[in-house]
């Protein structure tokens, strides 16, 4: 029995509509929040994750209209840009936030911003394959590079 059939069998229409509404946002937040569980990840794993997100989004459109897993897709697209891309995203978000203070905020743009913890987890994911390398020299170099990038990341996401 499918998810939709179970809901329709046991709940009335208003309750089933309530359950379906927000399912996309829940899954979007789940994919971003639990990304570190996919560690260690390389480029192929990231590509596979992006394909899974696309397939999941298409399947969810049969359950709830207007499902958009864009935030999760954007998060894993940042992985492909590497640590420098993560730092650049933090810088762009900071500049957008400062410009937003003067005018009215764009809700969609705000939704695509990531917290420090999310970007930190993504940065760790970017270095996860190198850190998992059994050769000591590679892991030590990766740890040093990750520390430098984390410092740059914290400069742009520092909360006052």
Residue-by-residue DSSP string for 96-156: HHHHHTTSPPPHHHHHT---HHHHHHHHHHHHHHHHT-SSHHHHHHHHHHHHHHHHHHHHH
Q: Which tops the pLDDT comparison, 135 or 102? A: 135
- CA dist 21 and 63 (Å) reads 9
Residue 135 has pLDDT above 80, yes or no: yes
- Number of structural domains (the chain) is 1
Asked if residue 58 lies in contact with residue 95, where contact means CB atoms within 8 angstroms, the answer is no
Residue 159 has pLDDT above 60, yes or no: no
Compute the C-alpha angle 30/114/77, nearest 5°: 75
Residue 56: give the domain boundaries: 3-157
Q: Which tops the pLDDT comparison, 44 or 8? A: 44
pLDDT tens by residue, 13-34: 888 777 777 788 889 999 999 9
Q: For the whole model, what pTM was predicted?
A: 0.81
Which DSSP symbol is given to 64? S
Q: Which tops the pLDDT comparison, 95 or 51? A: 51
pLDDT tens by residue, 75-130: 999 999 999 999 999 988 888 777 776 666 677 677 778 889 999 999 999 988 88
Q: What is the average per-residue pLDDT within 45-70?
A: 89
- CA dist 118 and 104 (Å) reads 25
Q: With pLDDT > 70 as the criterion, what percentage of the chain qualifies?
A: 92
- Please give the pLDDT value at position 63: 76
- Please give the pLDDT value at position 160: 40
């Amino acid at each position: 029995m499918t998810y939709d059939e179970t809901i329709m069998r046991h709940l009335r229409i208003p309750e089933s509509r309530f359950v379906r509404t927000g399912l996309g946002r829940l899954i979007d937040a789940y994919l971003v929040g639990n990304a570190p569980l996919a560690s260690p990840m390389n480029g192929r794993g990231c590509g596979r994750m992006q394909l899974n997100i696309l397939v999941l989004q298409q399947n969810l459109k049969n359950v709830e209209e207007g499902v958009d897993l864009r935030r999760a897709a954007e998060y894993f697209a940042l992985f492909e840009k590497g640590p420098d891309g993560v730092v650049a995203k933090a810088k762009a978000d900071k500049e957008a936030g400062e410009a937003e203070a003067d005018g009215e905020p764009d809700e969609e743009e705000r939704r695509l911003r990531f917290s420090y913890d999310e970007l930190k987890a993504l940065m760790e994911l970017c270095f996860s394959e190198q850190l998992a390398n059994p050769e000591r020299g590679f892991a030590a170099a990766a740890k040093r590079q990750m520390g430098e990038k984390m410092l740059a990341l914290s400069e742009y996401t520092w909360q006052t």
